[in-house]
Structures are given as C-alpha cells and as structure tokens.
C-alpha cells in the first residue's frame, strides 16, 4: 500500500510530499521512506503470520525510528551485530523481544547481549556455544538459545545470499550430524536454555518449495531430539528471505499463503512424529522495508554512447551510485527508475542510470527506457531501495551517505541525517 503517486505537475509525491520540495529542503540524493507503507507491510506480515512471532530483520535497514515502528506494530526485532543491538536498545525495544544473530559474535557482543537479557541468541558454532556457556557462568545469568541449522536446501537465488546449502559459513549441518551434536552441547551447558532450532535458507526467494523442504528437515531433527534426548524444544524459527518485486517481471509469494502452507507442513509433520507443535517465528527484512523506500537522485551528465549495429544507449549520471546502492554492482540486481520532477511526452530511449564513482561497474539501473529529453537538474526516483541499500552504503570515494527522510501525511522528517565532510574527517585522526 504505497502512497506514491504522480501529481498534476507530473512530479512524484510520496506520503503527500512532492519530492521536488523534499529535495529543495533536504538535498539529493535522498532515501525517501514511506511510513504508511512500512507500517502496513509490518502489520500485513504480523497478521499473515498470526500465531507466529515475526522478527523484523534489522540488517535490511535499521535506525531508531524504524525500530520504534517495528515495536509499535507488535513485531520482534532480529539484530546481527553489536551496532544493530545498540540501535535497538537506544530505540527502547524491549530486550526480551530481540533475537541476536551472527556467525562470529565477539565476546563483548555476547556479553552485552546476556547482560541486557536479549530474548534469544542464535548460536552458530561449537566454539560459540562454549564461549556463551562460559559467559553465562561468569555473569550468573542464563541465556535462551536457538541452534542455527543448515537444511541443505539449494534456494534459487544469488550464490552470495543463499545460505542453506552445505558449503558456506553459517550454521550446523543437519546431514553431517553437527546440528544434533550442537543441540546436545547446548542442552548439557548449565545456564543455556535450549529453545529450538533456526533455519534461514537465503534471501530474495520466490520459489517457496525451498522453505517447505527446509521446514520438513528441521522438523525431523526437532522430532529426533524429542525422541532420543527427551527434550521438547518449545520454539522453531524458519528465517526470512521472502522475495519482492524489483521489476515487473518478479512475482513474489503472498505472505498469507506462505504462512498457511508452512503451518500446514509443520502441523502435519508434528502429528506424524507425535511431538507438540512448537511456537513458530519468521524473520522477514526485505519484504517489509524493501518496497517502502525509494532513492531520489538529481540527474547530472547525460551522454549518448554508440553501441554495435548503430544502436545508442543514453548514460544518465546521477549524484549518487554504488556508494548508496551496491546491489546492482554486487548481485547484478535489477532496478527501474522514473522521472520524478515533471511530466514529459518525450519518446523513451534505451538508458542506463550510473553513479559518479570512479569505476565502470558503478551502475544503479542497468537497462531502462528513459525519457529522451532527460536533462541535468531532473529528479529520478529508483523504487524498492529500502532493503540492503542504506544498510550497505559506503563512503567510497569519500561519498557522504544520503539521509533517510520519512514521509507521512504531507510531512517530511529526517530520521537519518546526511553525512557531512566533518563526519568523514572526524575519523581521520592522522
Ligand atoms: N534472518 C537471517 C538469519 C538472515 O541472515 C537474513 C538475511 C534475514 C533473516 C532476512 O532476510 P530477508 O527477509 O531480508 O531476505 N545483502 C543481500 C541480502 C543478504 C541477506 C542476509 N541475511 C541483498 O542485498 O540482497
């Protein structure tokens, strides 16, 4: 339920705010966050997965305002670093509603998580189980633990973001027996409270059969633990990874349908294994925040480049690039763009939106028909940049990371301010 629309002037309006006014006040580039859209997606997941705990995956995008919205909408929060944890705590998120992830959490990170009493820590290695066991003994405080397992599912997504096949760094393999041993290790450690298993198979997934196969394998282990160790684990997390549409060719699954399917499988398997149905949880990030943000850029240089066979491509340079959206360069991701500042009747031409960084791979939108009269000073909006864009932004070429401006009911409010040259120079103590 995006509030984005074009107004009479042909300018893009989001949350009742004309992006021309937004840029006049807050500068360009800027990430524009549609509060209504974010909150309704959060609620839609909460409602679709009624009876589950829904953890918003903060790695997709996190700031204190968003952490507060997440809490207000009744979601839990998944963090995967000390930095994300401190944003959550500063926002006032109840520690009991935070899950803490990571394949290489440091001892200080673990210590803080135990001290503040996060709701669950997802352990990822034998070494970490031992570290955590030592910490809880030292601090005299227990910790609730989920064991991250690898279900051996090939999710059909980009290799770098698929995580449930065997040859990668996350979790304990079910098939090798490590996952079972990890469960035993947690169970035997005084102070560690074994809550359940956790499986995350990857990100930007459309083919839901991967979730189903993973759920079956995780449940088989869950049942084996009940049978052989006599331990009823009360929870199970099925991870995140639900795909969103970046271009019109993508066809994402409906969360309600996915929830129904998963619940059916879990209930069926639990009946077959004669174990109680655990409390389920999921961890969507992208599917909540991805569509609720766009990036607004100002067009600078427009250049025609001749291709083979006499074709021409229009290179549209904008005032940002791979420092605010690395996904095209890194994952070959597909984005689209739209002229956001005026109406045009110009004939569309084959275009490519590129940034201002010093390399040829600095591409934001690979292939898109753009108005033939695009010119310096026009504003372009790239939709769907809410997930893994600001959160993966860099200072490459000493770029200043753009602000996040939340819009709602005709008002624009900066929730993350633009970086300044002073911010950059502050760390350069030379
Ligand atoms: N839970 C765990 C344990 C995860 O590792 C992740 C994502 C999520 C939940 C949330 O997944 P989502 O629902 O957002 O797909 N930078 C990449 C994506 C990396 C995903 C990492 N883990 C990208 O830009 O596509």
Domains and CATH numbers, the chain: 5-32+292-426 (2.40.37.10), 35-289 (3.20.20.10)
pLDDT, residue 159, reads 61
pTM of the entire predicted model: 0.97
Work out the average pLDDT over 129-146. 98
The DSSP output letter for 10 is S
Q: What is the ipTM score, two decimals?
A: 0.99
Burial class (CB in 10 A: 0-12, 13-18, 19+), 263: middle
- State which ligand 1 atom lies nearest to the alpha carbon of 285: 14
Task: Quote the ligand 1 centre to 303 CA distance (angstroms).
Answer: 36
User: Catalytic annotation on 358?
Assistant: yes
d(CA 411, CA 35): 11
SS3 301: strand
Task: Quote the ligand 1 centre to 270 CA distance (angstroms).
Answer: 28
Ligand 1 pocket test: which of 124, 203, 242, 245 has the largest number of ligand atoms within 8 Å of its C-beta? 203
Asked if residues 405 and 22 have their Cβ atoms less than 8 Å apart, the reply is yes
**pLDDT tens digits for 223-241?**
999 999 999 999 999 999 9
The DSSP output letter for 96 is G
Binding-site residues, ligand 1, Cβ < 6 A: 57, 59-60, 78, 101, 161, 200, 203-204, 239-242, 283-287, 327, 331, 387-388, 392
**pLDDT tens digits for 111-122?**
999 999 999 999
The DSSP output letter for 309 is G
**pLDDT tens digits for 204-225?**
988 888 888 999 999 999 999 9
Asked if residues 170 and 163 have their Cβ atoms less than 8 Å apart, the reply is yes
pLDDT, residue 317, reads 98
**pLDDT tens digits for 354-401?**
999 999 999 999 999 999 999 999 999 999 999 999 999 999 999 999
- State which ligand 1 atom lies nearest to the alpha carbon of 391: 16
Tokens of 276: 């109680």
Task: Quote the ligand 1 centre to 16 CA distance (angstroms).
Answer: 31
Active-site residue, selected from the candidate residues 63, 294, 337, 358: 358
Q: What is the DSSP string of 330-399?
A: HH------EE-B----PPEEEEEEE-SSSSTT-EEEEEEEEETT--TT-EEEEE--TTTTGGG---GGGP
**pLDDT tens digits for 299-320?**
999 999 999 888 999 999 999 9
Q: How are beta strands 293-306 and 312-318 bridged, if at all?
A: antiparallel
Would you say residue 161 has pLDDT above 70?
no
Measured between its terminal Cα atoms, the distance across the chain in Å is: 49
Asked if residues 32 and 289 have their Cβ atoms less than 8 Å apart, the reply is no
Ligand 1 pocket test: which of 56, 57, 384 has the largest number of ligand atoms within 8 Å of its C-beta? 57
Average pLDDT across the chain, whole number: 95
pLDDT, residue 428, reads 95
Task: Quote the ligand 1 centre to 202 CA distance (angstroms).
Answer: 7
């Amino acid at each position: 339920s995006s509030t984005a629309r074009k107004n009479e002037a042909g300018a893009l309006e989001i949350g009742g705010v004309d992006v021309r006014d937004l840029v006049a006040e807050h500068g360009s580039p800027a990430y524009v966050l549609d509060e209504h859209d974010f909150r309704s997606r959060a609620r839609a997941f909460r409602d679709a997965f009624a009876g589950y705990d829904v953890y918003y995956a903060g790695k997709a995008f996190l700031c204190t305002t968003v952490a507060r919205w997440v809490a207000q909408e009744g979601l839990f929060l998944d963090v995967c670093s000390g930095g994300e944890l401190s944003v959550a705590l500063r926002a006032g998120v109840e520690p009991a509603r935070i899950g803490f992830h990571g394949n290489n959490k440091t001892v200080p990170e673990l210590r803080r998580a135990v001290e503040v009493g996060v709701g669950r820590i997802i352990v990822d290695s034998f070494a970490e189980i031992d570290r955590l066991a030592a910490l809880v003994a030292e601090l005299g405080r227990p910790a609730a633990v989920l064991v991250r397992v690898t279900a051996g599912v090939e999710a059909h997504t980009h290799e770098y973001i698929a995580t449930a096949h065997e040859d990668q760094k996350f979790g304990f393999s079910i098939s090798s027996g490590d996952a079972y041993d990890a469960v035993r290790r947690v169970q035997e450690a005084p102070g560690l409270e074994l809550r359940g298993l956790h499986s995350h198979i990857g990100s930007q997934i459309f083919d839901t059969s991967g979730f189903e196969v993973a759920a079956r394998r995780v449940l088989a282990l869950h049942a084996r633990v009940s049978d052989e160790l006599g331990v009823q684990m009360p929870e199970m997390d099925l991870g995140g990874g639900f795909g969103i549409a970046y271009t019109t060719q993508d066809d994402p699954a409906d969360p309600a349908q996915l929830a129904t399917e998963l619940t059916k499988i879990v209930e069926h398997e639990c009946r077959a294994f004669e174990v109680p149905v655990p409390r389920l949880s999921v961890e969507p990030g992208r599917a909540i925040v991805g569509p609720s943000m766009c990036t607004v850029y100002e067009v600078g240089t427009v250049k025609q480049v001749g291709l083979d066979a006499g074709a021409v491509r229009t290179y549209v340079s904008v005032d940002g690039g791979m420092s605010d959206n690395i996904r095209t360069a890194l994952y070959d991701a597909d984005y689209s763009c739209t002229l956001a500042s005026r109406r045009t009747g110009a004939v569309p031409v084959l275009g490519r939106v590129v940034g201002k960084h010093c390399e040829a791979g600095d591409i934001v939108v690979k292939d898109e028909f753009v108005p033939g009269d695009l010119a310096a000073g026009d504003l372009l909006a790239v939709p769907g940049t809410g997930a893994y864009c600001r959160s993966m932004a860099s200072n490459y070429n000493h770029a200043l990371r753009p602000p996040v401006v939340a819009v709602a009911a005709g008002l624009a409010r900066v929730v993350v301010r633009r970086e300044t040259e002073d911010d950059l120079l502050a760390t350069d103590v030379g």
